A and B are shown apart, each in its own frame.
Chain A
């Protein structure tokens, strides 16, 4: 029997995923564990591996299609096996179970996510409200009820709503074309599709629209590129707004004399490189110092969840990593208990995964404090935005030689600015200042880290 391949549910809030690319063509042999396609969720891009071996018999969706969770995307089976022409809808329970087993690590509680209603229809995180009749019609026609707009109380889907949806769906159209048609009030059934199998694509809708908007002026202005706020960009946008709107940010700054850290790094560099193959950077030393200091400042190593402040036992430091058109925060766990060599290895590897967009969801969860280092740029200090539900974040500026006064004489020292933003709901100025002061002391006497 052919095995279903479906859109995996990678987090408790995931409703749809965007199919980014196929690695296999119909007819290609597939091994268990081999990546077959890549998807993008609102949090992550991930390669989906095959759970079965066989031949990729069918692909129902193309790149850039948005596919609801558990929707059947294709089939793997024996050569010549017959599979439906259209995606039969939601995968059967059994395989859903398999999926959740496979993905159990990632479906566990997620701190990351802002509830994210994407694309069309009722995609709230709750069970769809629908009458039995609506469910029957949806079942018979392979309609995902989550995509149907219900007109009843609290969005309850009635039979007629499903029938209307089906009517609208008789026209095959890309999600973009649908959205555009909806926004512009174009009846998709009147649009001639030029895509695969008569599928209506965006340009078809645009060409219908053109006569309706006659070109008034002939001088062509260069048009700005427009990119929809979606995927990771949307998550970042939502989370930044949420953090700024809920947490009263206060930022403290201090200058740290990095002379001894520089010495320490210079002497550890060859040792660690020999041991791990990686070159220890200031970031790892700062993270180590932060971890050490956090163990003595529980108030800063806390999370504000609901109406409770949770004083975390573990010290897990998130490391803000710039990626193409975005930002990810992979997590280094238990940094207070790790030596610099293993921290270096871990930080390098996880940053690489982040830049390649290959982080697993659990590698982005559970941080209790975040470090954002802009020291590689000409930045002295800044006001970082707290990575909620954490209550504080450390911004790291560049190290620059500056004249400072030491014992009444002006000397040149490598100085670095640290900026600590904290959530004033959870921490007050004094304990935050104590933490930052101690961090400065530790960095100025880094041999303490070796103790």
Chain B
């Protein structure tokens, strides 16, 4: 009890946390509730902490909403077969939509809602980040819940765990490892889109969101390389700091919720395990996370219980709202295309699409070709593994959008734009493949490794007969994710304005960007978005899904 008194209580923590997020948001909000006048960012490095705080506030707000929504959605999908039939396919389609393409549309919408105030841009950014964080969290929750051991559920029923108690004692602990694992992914996605949304200039008027990303972008455009470097360093320090102060401690704490080692479950990210040995992480875990963890679960349980008890109401509301929205959208699209003659650019869309497709496909192939040897090299050297993984993970947690400025500098030095585009896309795509492949190599059961050893399978034979087959499911999962992410990257990097020059290649991303930011031709915007989404969904359905099914059947670790 005396220990409790000396450490910060959960309430203090909650207060501090909300101060951290609420104050900048309120400050921002008050300064935003006036008509927008496109400010130039103040370039003084002393303001960087403020910019960082603003960026973090956006991320935090989006993450909070995404987590709550994901828990509720995943829970509903796992509990009711009817909900599952609607939720899973919609999530599947929605997550394959390239979010960045919709950003200008969202900005337009929210600016309309807030009558031209810049709060609309802020909301659009948070919305964009939310959509980048939500899907994998929801799938993570759903998967943890359907793989919950049946005995445990029966036992919980038997003991009489109901209502908020069921949430805080059964469901939340059960989904905790999956949620944490996916939070890392979500958070990385969030950074990516945060920076993208801060960088993007919208429409004829430029909207700038003050934040780390816009600071980075502006310093590149103006050509202040020292500031660029500084901003990247701040970003790096922040991601490392978050691992030390947040993810590491949370993960150490959540270790207690893990069921015994089972192959299919997402394992602790290696960096978190490596960090588990750090003194800072242990201190934070002991002093902050452990004392407040159970209370946090209880509070969350109450909230979630309240949210999900009205699920039927929400369901009915959705059942009414969704058809209405679809009808409204369809009508607007129809009007858009019949109201005037078709723009000539629309005829170019098929070829644009093919060119972009080739770039993404090349990106996937290169990522896979690079990831397997790297993963193999790491897997073969267990002594280095921890260090190598930590370094890779820190690099990967720098959002690829932060590399864009650097590659733009290369472009201004004369790098061919086609190469530059693929390189830019690769900075986004490679990590997805690498992490999935690495995860699969480390999931090879120990006895299987020993069997290979005693059978004399060494070197290249071990690579081809054991490692490659074992990583195939991971390789496909990673490639699917990279394929989706690649399209987002193309929207960002087929058309780049920097230092007063325009770098662009022909492709659907460039067409979309030109229409979004140049001509403002909504016909072209709608047509290219539709074409892109249809292509992505079709390839997912007709190529990746069957491929994955076959691979999973053949290469699953179940013998």
A interacts with B: no
